[in-house]
Amino acid sequence: MNFVDEVLIVASAGKGGNGCLSFRREKYVPRGGPDGGDGGEGGSVYLESTTAINTLVDFRFKKKFSAKKGTDGAGKDRTGAQGEDLVISVPIGTIVINQSTGEIIYDLSKPFEKVLVAIGGKGGQGNARFKSSINQAPRFFTPGDQGETRELKLELKCIADVGLVGYPNAGKSTLITAISEAKPKVADYPFTTLNPVLGVVKGIDDHSYIVADIPGLIEGASDGIGLGIKFLRHVERTELLLHLIDLMPVDSSHEPLKAYQSINQELEAYSKEVASKPRWIVFTKSDLLGEDEAKRLAQSVIDEIDWTQPWYVISAINKQGLKVLVDDASLYLSQSLSD
């Protein structure tokens, strides 16, 4: 399925029903009177977050959404029926923005949150409303108001506890496959992950947390080169970043020290807030070097950059170091939630 994380839609609330012009015509009633009822209110438009979908892809094909209009009033003081509201389902993590003003209307960050985005028009008044001592037979009514129409920008930011960042082929997809039930595409060429992939990981005491595999960054991403910068918004909500570094890259420009420096620069260029998030370094593919050599190379990088945060050497293929990494992340997240 294609991943879409930004769309424009138009939400139109229903028009209110017209008021009614009517007079009683009853046998044995010597004098009739105005009995035109009011029109019903137009339906409103709501957005509601749901766990059933995790992409905005459906909005690529349908961009206009309209609630039902109210029905007209009728004689015998009958009020028209209210138009049915329209509730549009969106993924959790959807930010609703007024396109004309840039104002954030709401951030749907929890399941089953509901926000009103377009208000239905008021129903018109029937002629019974205008009867008075000086006008016993009013012959006018009011039409229903038009419903509100708004152009909305929807932006999706994945709700994940841990975000994986790093160059293409750093081993992010392989890692998330090894520690969760997610099944991202894995291959030995760049950009196999074209969409953020979410996986649920079980840590200490079966405490579950969500890991997001973010498409790989490349040098110059903050200037619009490559794919990764488009998806960096999805790490903004995470509590912890795992920065994956390939110990045996096929490209010499991606050797471990350069890989760290380049990705670090791209994170800072994108957002100081993202760059300052808690981040652990994870050296991958240790099975290609042997455990001792892998640790020696990793330590040389750590020493060079004066790294003081946690760091790990793993092999997702043979499961080396995975349990410690998974459990440490679980413990860290549990503590951060309790603080």
How far apart are alpha carbons 86 and 115 in whole angstroms? 12
In this structure, which amino acid lies at residue 20? C
- pLDDT of residue 225 exceeding 80, the answer is no
B/e letters for 138-152, b = 16+ CB within 10 Å, e = fewer, are beebbbbbbbbebeb
Q: Which residues contact 133 (CB under 8 A, 6 or more apart)?
A: none
For the cut 50, the answer to whether the pLDDT of residue 245 exceeds it is yes
User: Which tens digit of pLDDT belongs to each residue from 186-199?
Assistant: 444 444 444 567 78
pTM over 0.85: no
DSSP assignment of 248-280: S-SSGGG-HHHHHHHHHHHHHHH-HHHHTS-EE
153: how many CB neighbours lie within 10 A of its CB? Answer: 17
Query: Would you call 154 helix, strand, or coil by DSSP?
Result: strand
The DSSP code for 224 is T
Structure tokens at 182: 């997610």
Taking only the tens place, the pLDDT of each residue in 18-39 is: 999 999 877 666 567 899 999 9
Q: Which domains occur in the chain, in start order?
A: 6-156 (2.70.210.12), 162-338 (3.40.50.300)
179's enclosing H/E stretch is helix 172-179
pLDDT tens per residue, range 124-141? 999 999 999 889 889 999
From 195-199, 204-208, 293-297, 321-325, the region with the lowest mean pLDDT: 195-199
Question: Count of alpha carbons within 13 Å of 152, Cβ hemisphere only?
Answer: 31
